[in-house]
Structure 1
Amino acid sequence: MNKISNKCEDEQIHLLGLIQPYGILIILDKDLKVKTHSQVIEPLNKVFHEGDWLDKNIQGILRLPFEKIQHAFDELSEQNQAENPHRFSQEFVVEDQEFYLSMYWTNGLLYLEFEVKHNKQGNLNLSFNSYLQKISQSQDSLWQDLSDILGELMGFDRVMIYQFLEDSSGIVVAEHLKDQSLSSFLGFHYPEFDIPQQARALYSKNHIRFIVDTDVAPNHMISIGEEIDLQRVGIRSLSPIHLQYLRNGGFRSSLSISIIVKGKLWGLVCCQNEMPLHVDLQRRNLAFTLTHYAASRFQYLEHEEKLTYLGESQKLESQIKEAIYLKNNVFRDLEPIMPQLMEAMISDGIAIIQGDEIMTFGETPGKSSISNFISSVKSELKDIYLSNLHDKYSNMDSSLFFEDFPGIAFLPIEGPLGFTLIWFRKETPVIKKWAGKPEKDFVLDEADQVLKPSPRTSFQLYMEEVKGSAIKWTQREVLFLQRIKDVLQQGMLKKASRIAALNEQLIEMNNALDTYAYTISHDLKNPLTAIKLSGEFLSVRDSVPDGLKKKMTQNILDGVNNIVNMLDKIHSFSKASVFDYQPVLISTDKFIKEIVEIARERYSSGGLNVSFGELLPVYGEKTLVYQLFVNIIGNAIKYSSKSKNPTVSISSEQLDNGVNYKVIDNGIGIKKSELETVYEIFKRMSNSAGFEGSGVGMAIVKRIVDKLNLKISIESNLGVGTEIVIFFPDYTIDKTFHE
């Protein structure tokens, strides 16, 4: 078996060291000394002295006065010998012979290209301006107009506009023929390997490649043996393989110009001539400028089309937004606009999938097939636009493919309420025209006994029927999907946020109801205890002195009033997120002492020692402040009731901006690790066994503190006791407090 060697794509075409014999290349180091040069040709020998040029200063080898090109050197010296795209060109005359000089820096070396000016150009400005005007007015015929203009400007037999496709092959999208008897290549495809990757990389850097005559032997570089990078050299000769490729196609001269769109190589202008043809540098530069201008025009037209399409799609986007923002079930509410979604994508059918539910419209695969496919690709499901489903999922079980619908566009909408949209396109068999059979040729090198790449010899029409594919999704359709996804994704996020907010409100309302219920059951025990004690006293005494009877009766009435007021405040306090009240000055001394006596009876703390400091009035809402002290003092008495000498201290202190109340007991205390959770509802301390309670009291305290904009702090030591400090601001104006 013969071994394959030297792949065409591996050829280092920028290091071949060959120069076309219509010019001379001289490369200088930073001191302007000759590092390497190509062979001298006539009539350029008029420009230089004879002899060895290597390591000589450029001024020493030039026949013409250096001042003639001094301006070019001065311009380039400002570039500081760095890599720079600027290329300086000028014309000069020696002994009635006109020449061009092009100069530029590459890799710290100064490149000088000399070439002969062959033809009198005349005044090209008038025609050039008309060319620019024609391109500036071009619409759908832009590339055809460019090929016609370049054909007229340069005189090639054939000018083609060649576009690179997604699969790296190419197609001729416009063509100008000088002689209509020539075979047209319009619409013909060319395989990827006709223009290998390293050639495309070179086209991205050096935008013009010109060969005068494929049959003329090139000149070699004269150097000290190292390889010289010629990728930016305009008079560089081409690869022998490519020269043979042109000869096989029947052409002796060729010019290619890169078409750069959005910074990338979009395609090429390919000019071909059956006979040798020298196109002067000025015309080549004008052709490049026109091509660059056409690429800018193409980019502008694409942008205009995009804006127009965006305007047309806004109506559909509005319908989608309505389905998202104004209705409840986005998945279901997209169903009425499925026809418009399908029409916008020029598809045969559409499906919307959410969980196990599938809605379809138009011509689509069966729902079971869609479900099976989605399950198989779920882990890698993302935005995908395919014209051949099999190419993407070639390793998948073929039974999962949609045989009649190879074209699909996925659009997954993420989130807890997310869903997936799929557009379908039917198979569309295509007859593809190739410029020759797209097969890479190799020939046997007898000396090395290896197969080496050989250019194709046939460019005759080759027809290929392509099956298993659908019409490709256009950039416009991809843009539409991206916009629709943004609208849906943002809408779903907003809806999810709104649902989350509603859930939070619902939780808050449920918490409020819980708080309402537990507060009633917890805090009404104190006034009920007072009513019970007074009632029991009156019921067991046959005769009660009028003064004592009046006092007991008043206790019952006060207890009832406290219950009524507490129920009213608890109700409005629990259901509202904003609690409005006007702070009033509340005297606490009387009801604090009543709370102590009732709690003493409730928790059987007959031996309790309660000391009172100064009980200063505070600003607040009377019922809630009463309820606050009921819980704090009640807990202090309850949890110290089983101490050896139960003691509770209640006092207050006037500060600059309010009043501090302290309630200190010598009860069971609280673990340090449990202080952070003391306000949680139903949270009882680990050492509270044996004491009645439900873990609601301190949760109520915290809620009242927050509502009234108070501050509370707790310090406690296990087995020693607890100190609670409450700060009441000194409000002297009306105030509204928010949760």
Structure 2
Amino acid sequence: MIFDAQKCEDEKIHLLGLVQPIGFLVIIDREQNILAHSDIPATAQCVYNTTEIVGKRVSDVIVEEWKELNLQLEAALQSIEKQNTLRFSEEIMLGDTAFYISVYGVNDLFHLEFEIKPLYKSAQNLSFNSHLNTLSRSSDTLWQELSRIISELLPYERIMVYKFNEDSSGIVVAETVANEQLERFLGYNYPEFDIPKQARELYSKNHLRFIVDATAKPTTLKTAANREFDLQQVAIRSLSPIHLQYLQNAGFKSSLSISIMVMGKLWGLVCCQHPEALHVDLQQRNLALTATHYAAAHFQHLKNEKRLVYMEDALNLELKIKETILLKNNVYQQLKAYSADLNEFMQSDGFALIQDNDIHIFGSTPPRMHIAAFVDAIRKHKPNIYLSNHHHTDSIEGVKTSFKEFPGIACLPIIGPLGFHLIWFRREIETVKKWAGKPEKNYTFDEKSNSTVPSPRTSFDVWMEQVKGTSAKWTFRESHFIGRLRDLLQETLLKKASEISNLNEQLIEMNNALDTYSYTISHDLKNPLSAIKLSGEFLRSKDNVPDQMRKRMTTNILDGVDTIVNMLDKIHEFSKANVFQYEPELINTDKFIEEIVIHSKERFSANNTTVFCKELLPVCGEKTLVYQLFLNIIGNAIKYSAKADQPFVEIQSYMENNGVIFVIKDNGIGMAKEELDTIYEIFKRMSNSAGFDGSGVGMAIVKRIVDKLGIKISIQSNLGMGTEIHLYFPNHNVVSIQK
């Protein structure tokens, strides 16, 4: 059992304060006060007039003959601040030794990094442009070409291109070895803890890291009050003792790593290894870094090209589906015809389409009953999109049991009353995974710290792992397509739902029109029918009817029949049409209003009601509909005032605003103000109308007529005190009123 174990990923590798003995580091503030420095090699000590330089200004400790160096330093610092230069480097001589000096800013401090220039002659780089041209023409062999080119630029025995996986483990995707006796690691996997999280973060910021000799003792920063400094930008910084031991266990003393950055993220590394100590010239390292960045940019370009092709293919399939489903009512049924296309595009083994109890399958799929159980589980979890590549412990309940042979699942739920599920399946692929050593962490007990600390693994012999229960992974290509398909189908269902809603509204309107038509017939034909009935009964009951009386009665009957015929025609035309067109005519209202009053008094047994008809002006409109309008309003006035102590109805008209206003006023039962808003609803009767004949249709008919003919209506009423209705008839020549 391990107690108080230190985790490798917790090590603060950027704060170790260790520098390789191939140069030295000086850290100064903006006033050029020296805050820290590493051991200064003997070849460079001639620059300073003292060995105790921490806390002093640079100009105070540099000997007179090196004042030119101080002036160069000041110029470099000004250039960095003025131009915001990331790094200023040049070659200088300190005594008899050549150094590369690099000056750069870190927060509010400046680092002066001195690296001894290697004595060996650098390889000629006349062919570097040719290397870049080779990379620009590469596609599938890009990383292998990069490893070959780096091997020509740098004298390491092994060059590997290492790609990070989603779980932060890695795999070697390209390799070049200068020594044929070396073991090959191409295709081998490395565990995540070989390059812990904080190391990956440093690789994302500082794209080149190298160690000359893993066995050499590093120098420690000398600071005031044991102050810590962040050395992540320091090229010659030393590495963690754990990693240095790791290199030695792997059989190497020297290594160099270059970050492969794709879309701003760490995609992988170029890993260079050598069995002996090796100090590679700064210029050669920079060439390798440039080649790696160039390859990464080309890799991104190739990915973008593939994405464009995929996007075009996806768009073509989406358009095919869209053209079909938008023309049909049942989206689910139409999608069945695209099962093969959807299966092929997703590169799946099988496809299922499920709506309620209907399960349509294509290709190789699990049994229908298992699919149904999975859909039930998905409904409980309600994910927008569910993707599974293997049986993780966090998979939704029932996946492993139901889809044992199909660990690759992509499920797209389409939500809504007409919704359904699309599911793609990928079969299990049994693989053998090769590891460069068994992927397990080792720990040892450290007596100094009295704790258990991480220990680098010692074995890199191939270790085989048989992997079961996994499928080919769903990539960005497939997950992106599912997202686009979801938007397309969800939008289509919304449109279909909107169309159905509109159809329902039209159906309701047509039903209302039909109701209005039928109830108008039964309601408004009662007056002329009553007149016909009374005239007919009179003629039948009298044997010797005077000619003048007979003529009057038959005229009433014929007029009533004409009124009924006209009303039937107009009501039918009026009810079925969205646009009611008519030729306006000047209608004399006095005659038919008088008839309406007589017939209404007879119909509602209101002979005691006094009706005052003042000036009745002609109005402009359609004769039959205007007749119906007054029939309902005057009829209601007479009916609901019939039981008053001294019932009366007053009808008058006057000219106003280039039109005619009619006022119908009664002293009937009136209406409560809070009920006026609902007076036009069909079958709506007022709360105080009990004991009066009626069906609640009259005012609904009134509303449809005034809307069709462009007449304005207003109603004022008080409960128990009567009602007053104003009708405004505009004078116009042509009328075409929309619903």
Does the alignment pair 1:91 with 2:90? yes
The alpha-carbon deviation at position 164 of structure 1 amounts to: 1.4
CA 179–596 in structure 1, closer or farther in 2 if over 3 Å, else same: farther
Match of 1:596 in 2: 597
Q: Deviations over 1:162-219 (max 9, x none)?
A: 1111222111111222223321111111111111122222222222222222112222
Match of 2:39 in 1: 39
Match of 2:184 in 1: 184
Q: State the identity as a percent.
A: 56
Match of 2:391 in 1: 389
Match of 2:106 in 1: 106
Contact 2:371 2:402 (C-alpha < 8 Å) held by counterparts: no
CA 736–445 in structure 1, closer or farther in 2 if over 3 Å, else same: same
Q: Aligned partners of 2:525, 2:580: CA distance in 1, in Å?
A: 21
Does the alignment pair 1:56 with 2:48? no
Contact 1:372 1:400 (C-alpha < 8 Å) held by counterparts: no
Q: Aligned partners of 2:545, 2:343: CA distance in 1, in Å?
A: 92
CA 337–397 in structure 1, closer or farther in 2 if over 3 Å, else same: closer
Contact 1:188 1:435 (C-alpha < 8 Å) held by counterparts: yes
User: 1:262-273 maps to which residues of 2 (within 5 A)?
Assistant: 262-273=263-274
Contact 2:391 2:400 (C-alpha < 8 Å) held by counterparts: no
The alpha-carbon deviation at position 48 of structure 1 amounts to: 4.9
Greater shift after overlay, 7-16 or 324-333? 324-333
Contact 1:68 1:92 (C-alpha < 8 Å) held by counterparts: no
Match of 2:78 in 1: 74
Q: Aligned partners of 1:251, 1:474: CA distance in 2, in Å?
A: 36
Match of 2:212 in 1: 212
Q: 1:389 aligns to what SS in structure 2?
A: coil
Contact 2:261 2:267 (C-alpha < 8 Å) held by counterparts: yes
User: 1:509-658 maps to which residues of 2 (within 5 A)?
Assistant: 509-656=510-657, 658=659
Greater shift after overlay, 628-637 or 608-617? 608-617
Greater shift after overlay, 678-687 or 652-661? 652-661
Q: Aligned partners of 2:122, 2:584: CA distance in 1, in Å?
A: 97
Match of 2:162 in 1: 162
The alpha-carbon deviation at position 120 of structure 1 amounts to: 8.2
The alpha-carbon deviation at position 491 of structure 1 amounts to: 2.5
Contact 1:212 1:278 (C-alpha < 8 Å) held by counterparts: yes
Q: Aligned partners of 1:568, 1:247: CA distance in 2, in Å?
A: 105
Match of 2:262 in 1: 261
The alpha-carbon deviation at position 690 of structure 1 amounts to: 0.8
Contact 2:122 2:284 (C-alpha < 8 Å) held by counterparts: no
The alpha-carbon deviation at position 358 of structure 1 amounts to: 0.8
Match of 2:142 in 1: 142
Q: Deviations over 1:142-161 (max 9, x none)?
A: 22222222222222222222
Q: Aligned partners of 1:726, 1:702: CA distance in 2, in Å?
A: 11
Contact 1:5 1:452 (C-alpha < 8 Å) held by counterparts: yes
Q: 1:334 aligns to what SS in structure 2?
A: helix
Contact 1:87 1:102 (C-alpha < 8 Å) held by counterparts: no
CA 710–270 in structure 1, closer or farther in 2 if over 3 Å, else same: farther
Greater shift after overlay, 478-487 or 627-636? 478-487
Amino acid at match of 1:463: M
CA 726–147 in structure 1, closer or farther in 2 if over 3 Å, else same: farther
User: 1:132-531 maps to which residues of 2 (within 5 A)?
Assistant: 132-224=132-224, 225-380=226-381, 381-393=383-395, 396=397, 400-531=401-532
Q: Deviations over 1:509-562 (max 9, x none)?
A: 222222221222122223223323333344444455555544443333332222
CA 684–243 in structure 1, closer or farther in 2 if over 3 Å, else same: same
Q: Aligned partners of 2:463, 2:624: CA distance in 1, in Å?
A: 97
Q: 1:162 aligns to what SS in structure 2?
A: strand
Q: Aligned partners of 1:97, 1:221: CA distance in 2, in Å?
A: 22
Q: Aligned partners of 2:360, 2:249: CA distance in 1, in Å?
A: 57
The TM-score normalised by the length of structure 2 is 0.92
Greater shift after overlay, 215-224 or 111-120? 111-120
Match of 1:694 in 2: 695
Q: 2:737 aligns to what SS in structure 1?
A: strand
Q: 2:228 aligns to what SS in structure 1?
A: coil
The TM-score normalised by the length of structure 1 is 0.92
Q: Aligned partners of 1:317, 1:399: CA distance in 2, in Å?
A: 32
Q: Which segments of 5 or more consecutive residues in structure 2 lack a partner in the other structure?
A: none
Contact 1:389 1:408 (C-alpha < 8 Å) held by counterparts: no
Contact 1:19 1:237 (C-alpha < 8 Å) held by counterparts: yes
Q: Which segments of 5 or more consecutive residues in structure 1 lack a partner in the other structure?
A: none
CA 133–578 in structure 1, closer or farther in 2 if over 3 Å, else same: farther
Contact 2:88 2:104 (C-alpha < 8 Å) held by counterparts: no
CA 24–519 in structure 1, closer or farther in 2 if over 3 Å, else same: farther
Q: 2:699 aligns to what SS in structure 1?
A: helix
The alpha-carbon deviation at position 397 of structure 1 amounts to: 5.3
Q: Aligned partners of 1:280, 1:580: CA distance in 2, in Å?
A: 94
Q: 1:597 aligns to what SS in structure 2?
A: helix
Amino acid at match of 1:140: D
